[in-house]
Chain A
Amino acid sequence: MPPKGSEGPQPESTSSAGPNAVHDFFTVPAPIKRLFDRFPLTTYPPNDLPQRSPSRRQDNQLYVFSDAKSARHGRPSFNPQCLKWQAYLKFVGIDFEVTPSNNHASPTGALPFLLPALPAGAPGPIPSHKLQKWAIEQVHCEEEQQLNLRFEVYASLLDHRLRNAWLYMLYLDSENFEAVARRLYVIPATTNTIVRLALGIQLQQAARDELLKTSKYIDAADLEGDAKSAFEALSALLGEDEHFFGRSKPGLFDASVFAYTHLILDESMGWKQNRLTQLLRENPNLVQHRDRLLQFF
């Protein structure tokens, strides 16, 4: 407490020098402040819809990872999740158009999603986990999970063992990553080299994190062994039948299997290292199953 009196002002001025300097230090320097005072420089009006956006939405639009040329011809998507639903909708006989897109376009952040044709009280975009329900409402197909208790059990082979092997092969095998994943996912996303680099690293890191969730370290031989046993189990489940679970028409499970087997066998993917093909070819009935279903496209 500074004493009152004639000497009062002097000590006050010295003790306030410290805080003032600290205060000055934390204020924004003048040139930077002047720069930021000018933001926003201009505010643009909202963008028009892109030219290629459909003006008359007569068809259902399925947004998938694809390129413009394959999308026009309705060729299979190169992403297993997207291909699964693309194939399923084809199998149950729903007409749709494929639109190339990426996951920033999706309301849920994940592809695929479907924009239903306009009339019929369309409810807006349908994310992938509601697609089956929507399809059942549209064409009254069966909900296959209910018909066979093995559906969910064998689906876990696809969702875990095959998916992990796929993640490893596509993202973590560096040759494949350069030749396939970078070409399909990174390069179309942007022309900026730095962003491409960052995006590539992010993709690989995401795949690595996903694999490390369930185990302490990533063992490629283990993942291949798992994929091999998964193929063998699926092959035994299919047996001599045309489609899984002895159905006369292909369904959701066939679509899920096809999504992986097609992409693994597809030569236009340009795999550099493809152990999964060798493992898959040991089960000829799965290869035939894929060839049969490819007729739909």
Chain B
Amino acid sequence: MVLQLHVWGPAFALPSIDAQCLSAIAYCSIALPKDAWELIASSDPSVSPTGELPALQNGSTWVSRFRNIVDYLRQYSDGAWDLDRQLDESDRADNTAFASFVESRGQSLIDLSLYVTSHNYYNNTSPAYGNLLQWPNQWILPPKLHGAAKARTDHLGLSSLDLQAIEEHRQRDHSAAVAAGKIPKNLIQRPRETVSGLLGRGSSKNQFRMEALTADFFEPLEAMLGQKAYLLTLKEEDVPSSLDCIALGSLSLALVPELAFPWLRDAMRAKAPLLSAYTERLRRRCFGDSPVEVAHAYSPQSAPASPLPWRAPGRISIAAVGSTLLAELADSTPFLSEIRRNNRLKQAAADSDLTSVEKGAVSMFADSSKKDMYVSIAAAVGGVAALVGYMFHVGLISVASQEQEFEEEEEEGIPDFGNLSAGDILGL
């Protein structure tokens, strides 16, 4: 059985748009022989029962998340496909710590650069998803990912990169100025806002913060790399470790994409020249010399020879499109979404290999939240009934009198034009 790795599809000349998928691709391309695996740019998390990408499929077994995939490959191959087997104890500790460091810090920087920075999102990331996804997912998924990235980076306080939020704020100020009569309305020039302009003008605080964030991320990695070939191993002929794969995922997304506002790449090149060279070298080794294009993933025979065993994803069927649309519709309908969530939870409880006590607890939770929902439905219905009752009481709605009113209006509301002169109509 050939292992199949499902990932988000190619973008920005890289084989995937997602850092974790890039890490998984890099790991497989180093650890596995080329004929043992296939790379499928399915670009749809719903292909996997876990609802996440990257996902490794082996027959009916699905494994998602980078670390689980690495563990699974080690067990599956009895340790043959394990890049970390030559590490000693202190290297292993470094491996874990740096992996956690790169995942947490790197992911925030990628989020800021590709999603939160509005220029990059609207000019680069969003079109890249457009090329990648099929209808209707191209309308559904990118806003979700955008929102998730914003939520993840909220605590960094760098919303100034988000022009949408700034624009709202600016418009408030703007209309306040107009209302105060300071500026005649038609004289106001609407300046085209740019992120660099904003950062240069008002918010040197944000610039400092961005400096600090990028320095915090790149400097320990640069120091760790030093003159070595890889982050943990000394010599070029050694194999990279799983840490190198994780690092490549984040670093290549920082370095390679051509963005409208490339602050992250500039910072990386300035602060970590060795790391940039290392990223470029490792990228060639894992993803091949030529840049990856979307077409390579969908029609593998057109692709130039590369280390990536692409296999075209199955065309999306009408049924799948329909079910996606229905699911999306149901999830955004107030009560229906809760019913669905509870059902999913119960399903998950029944399917998973939890102990019976935990299973009981989970399904109890699902039941109780079902009850909550019925209570809220009852409350809503009761509220509406009370409102309608009140409207009857006040006399806004009255079944009988309304008909009369209509009749009256028909009779007298329309003036009889026949008896009127033009002067009367114009009110002269």
Interface residues of B: mostly helix, strand, loop or mixed? helix
Q: Are A174 and B361 in contact (CB under 8 A)?
A: yes
Q: Give every chain A residue within 8 A of B409 (Cβ-Cβ).
A: 14-15
B223 contacts chain A at the CB level, 8 A cutoff: yes
A249 contacts chain B at the CB level, 8 A cutoff: no
Contacting A at CB under 8 A, from B201-224, are: 216, 219-220, 223-224
Known: A4-B427, A213-B151. Contact between A233 and B97, CB under 8 A? yes
Q: Are B97 and A237 in contact (CB under 8 A)?
A: yes
Q: Are A153 and B424 in contact (CB under 8 A)?
A: no
Smallest Cβ-Cβ distance to A11: which chain B residue = B412
Contacting B at CB under 8 A, from A1-51, are: 1-5, 7, 10-11, 14-15, 17-18, 21-22, 24-25
* Contact among B104, B408, B413 for A156, CB-based, below 8 A: B104
**Distance of A27 from chain B, by nearest CB (Å):** 10
Q: Give every chain A residue within 8 A of B408 (Cβ-Cβ).
A: 14
A226 to B152: give the CA distance in the assembly, Å: 20
Q: Are A216 and B396 in contact (CB under 8 A)?
A: no
- Most chain A CB neighbours (cut-off 10 Å) among B51, B101, B425: B101
**Count of B residues near A, CB < 8 Å?**
44
Q: Are B104 and A25 in contact (CB under 8 A)?
A: no
Q: Are A17 and B405 in contact (CB under 8 A)?
A: yes
Q: Are B51 and A233 in contact (CB under 8 A)?
A: no
**Distance of A128 from chain B, by nearest CB (Å):** 14
For A180-223 the 0/1 string (1 means CB < 8 A from B) is: 00000000000000000000000000000000011111000010
For B47-65 the 0/1 string (1 means CB < 8 A from A) is: 0001110000000000001
Known: A216-B45, A216-B51. Contact between A3 and B396, CB under 8 A? no
Q: Are A14 and B97 in contact (CB under 8 A)?
A: no
**Distance of A228 from chain B, by nearest CB (Å):** 10
A144 contacts chain B at the CB level, 8 A cutoff: no
A152 contacts chain B at the CB level, 8 A cutoff: yes
* Contact among B107, B216, B413 for A15, CB-based, below 8 A: B413
Q: Are A159 and B412 in contact (CB under 8 A)?
A: no
Q: Are B413 and A11 in contact (CB under 8 A)?
A: yes
**Distance of A216 from chain B, by nearest CB (Å):** 5
A177 to B216: give the CA distance in the assembly, Å: 35
Smallest Cβ-Cβ distance to B219: which chain A residue = A149
For B11-52 the 0/1 string (1 means CB < 8 A from A) is: 000000000000000000000000000000000010000111
Q: Give every chain A residue within 8 A of B68 (Cβ-Cβ).
A: 222
**Distance of B228 from chain A, by nearest CB (Å):** 14
Q: Give every chain A residue within 8 A of B317 (Cβ-Cβ).
A: none
- Most chain B CB neighbours (cut-off 10 Å) among A4, A14, A159: A14
A292 contacts chain B at the CB level, 8 A cutoff: no
Known: A15-B409, A149-B224. Contact between A2 and B415, CB under 8 A? yes
For A265-281 the 0/1 string (1 means CB < 8 A from B) is: 00000000000000000
A233 to B219: give the CA distance in the assembly, Å: 21
A133 contacts chain B at the CB level, 8 A cutoff: no
B395 contacts chain A at the CB level, 8 A cutoff: yes
A150 to B101: give the CA distance in the assembly, Å: 10
Q: Give every chain B residue within 8 A of A11 (Cβ-Cβ).
A: 412-413
Q: Give every chain B residue within 8 A of A213 (Cβ-Cβ).
A: 148, 151-152
* Contact among A3, A150, A153 for B415, CB-based, below 8 A: A3
Q: Give every chain B residue within 8 A of A233 (Cβ-Cβ).
A: 92-94, 96-97
Q: Give every chain A residue within 8 A of B50 (Cβ-Cβ).
A: 216-217
* Contact among A2, A5, A153, A216 for B97, CB-based, below 8 A: A153
Contacting A at CB under 8 A, from B283-300, are: none
Q: Are B224 and A156 in contact (CB under 8 A)?
A: no
Contacting A at CB under 8 A, from B397-428, are: 405, 408-409, 412-413, 415, 420, 424-425, 427
A15 to B412: give the CA distance in the assembly, Å: 10
Q: Are B51 and A236 in contact (CB under 8 A)?
A: no
- Most chain A CB neighbours (cut-off 10 Å) among B96, B395, B409, B412: B96
Q: Are A156 and B105 in contact (CB under 8 A)?
A: yes
Q: Are B93 and A232 in contact (CB under 8 A)?
A: yes
* Contact among B52, B151, B413, B425 for A216, CB-based, below 8 A: B52
A159 to B415: give the CA distance in the assembly, Å: 77
Q: Are A152 and B394 in contact (CB under 8 A)?
A: no
Q: Are B412 and A7 in contact (CB under 8 A)?
A: yes
Q: Give every chain B residue within 8 A of A5 (Cβ-Cβ).
A: 424
A84 contacts chain B at the CB level, 8 A cutoff: no
* Contact among B52, B107, B412 for A10, CB-based, below 8 A: B412
A1 to B396: give the CA distance in the assembly, Å: 25
Q: Give every chain A residue within 8 A of B51 (Cβ-Cβ).
A: 216-217
Q: Are B104 and A1 in contact (CB under 8 A)?
A: no
A160 contacts chain B at the CB level, 8 A cutoff: yes
A236 to B94: give the CA distance in the assembly, Å: 9
B121 contacts chain A at the CB level, 8 A cutoff: no
A223 to B351: give the CA distance in the assembly, Å: 20
- Most chain A CB neighbours (cut-off 10 Å) among B90, B152, B216, B220: B220
Q: Are A215 and B52 in contact (CB under 8 A)?
A: yes
Known: A149-B224, A230-B100, A237-B93. Contact between A24 and B413, CB under 8 A? no
Known: A24-B394, A157-B100. 8 other contacts (CB 8 A): A14-B405, A15-B413, A157-B97, A216-B50, A216-B52, A230-B100, A233-B93, A236-B92
15 sampled A-B residue pairs with Cβ under 8 A: A4-B424, A4-B427, A7-B412, A14-B408, A15-B409, A18-B405, A21-B394, A25-B391, A152-B101, A156-B100, A159-B104, A160-B103, A222-B67, A222-B68, A233-B93
What 8 pairs between A and B have smallest CB-CB spacing? Answer: A236-B93, A233-B93, A233-B96, A156-B101, A153-B101, A149-B223, A3-B415, A154-B97
Interface residues of B (CB under 8 A from A): 45, 50-52, 65, 67-68, 89-90, 92-94, 96-98, 100-101, 103-105, 107, 148, 151-152, 216, 219-220, 223-224, 361, 391, 394-396, 405, 408-409, 412-413, 415, 420, 424-425, 427
